[in-house]
Amino acid sequence: MTRSRLLPLLSIALLAALSAAALAGDAPARGHLVLIGGGDKPPEVMAKFVELAGGRDAPIVAIPTASSEPDTADYYEKLFREEHGCTNAVSLRIRSRADAGRADWAVLARNARGIFFGGGDQIRITNALLGTPVGDAIVAAFASGAVVGGTSAGTACQSDRMITGEGVFTQVATRSVELWAGLGFLPPDVVVDQHFIKRQRQNRLLSVVLENPALLGVGVDEETAIWVRPDGTLQVLGRSGVMVFDAKGSRLSRHPRDTGQDLLGVRDLRLHLLLPGETYDLRTRR
């Protein structure tokens, strides 16, 4: 079954399993997000994640599902325990939906105060977690104030509408970028991309935003993170920048082509390039 044919099924699972995240605007309590764009994980970013989780003795769960490397779970346990002094960090070695159905792992996820998603392929995360006991437990933990972190694919999956990495990225055009249902921990009108400046991914995020102008595009560079707080504001952490594309209220245009992928144009697009320490309000878009 192709990814595009699976999308409606995943959307149904998202509505059923992640209703708390989908109702983010009305949720009484939400945790923080610390999302890295890939590359090295700056110590100050990881320190912020551990701090928000409650400190070095807080229960922290790593989700290495996105990676195909067999030692990824061990890597994250070592990272948290040895480099950041965390005494209660474990990895949930989830490869499939069956793994995500384990009751003991669901308990660990629900009780975690920090949940960190590793890099790889974000499709592996959503395929394994959406609509499962572990997925539901992570939603409940976040709603009760746990911090959710991630890097690379572990950042991409946090949007309600998730960029998969499939598509044609040498153009700014309709139907160029494949979107799937993501975990939805970011506000529903935000779509996030990663490795952004380093890998010159402006074309694909622009394609998404101009085809869906209600979406706010946030591109996070490598060695850089967005710290998204429960009040909807974000702060840039790390060593590079974050680009924000806001087409709401812009003048959009299309040029039809025989390929079925219309060229997209825009006037008065709002672009922000945010540097470490700078802040942005996702709700007011200022």
CATH number for 24: 3.40.50.880
| DSSP-based three-state secondary structure for 81 | helix
How far is Cα 36 from Cα 224, in angstroms, rounded to an integer? 6
How far is Cα 284 from Cα 233, in angstroms, rounded to an integer? 9
- Write the pLDDT tens digit of every residue in 64-123: 999 999 999 999 999 999 999 999 999 999 999 999 999 999 999 999 999 999 999 999
| Other Cβ atoms closer than 10 A to 249 | 10
DSSP state, 240? S
Q: Please report the sign of the dihedral spanned by the C-alpha atoms of residue 134, residue 232, residue 242, residue 55.
A: negative
286 lies in a domain? no
Return left, alpha or beta for 249; rule: phi > 0 is left, psi -120 to 50 is alpha, else beta: left
What total number of domains does the chain contain?
Answer: 1
Average pLDDT for 205-215 = 98
- Write the pLDDT tens digit of every residue in 257-280: 999 999 999 999 999 999 999 999
pTM above 0.95, yes or no: no
pLDDT at 177 over 50: yes
DSSP state, 79? I
284 lies in a domain? no
Provide the pLDDT confidence category of residue 29 given band limits of 50, 70 and 90: low
Provide the pLDDT confidence category of residue 17 given band limits of 50, 70 and 90: very low
161 lies in a domain? yes
Count of residues in the chain: 286
Domain that holds residue 147: 3-279
- The reported pLDDT for the residue numbered 285 is 97
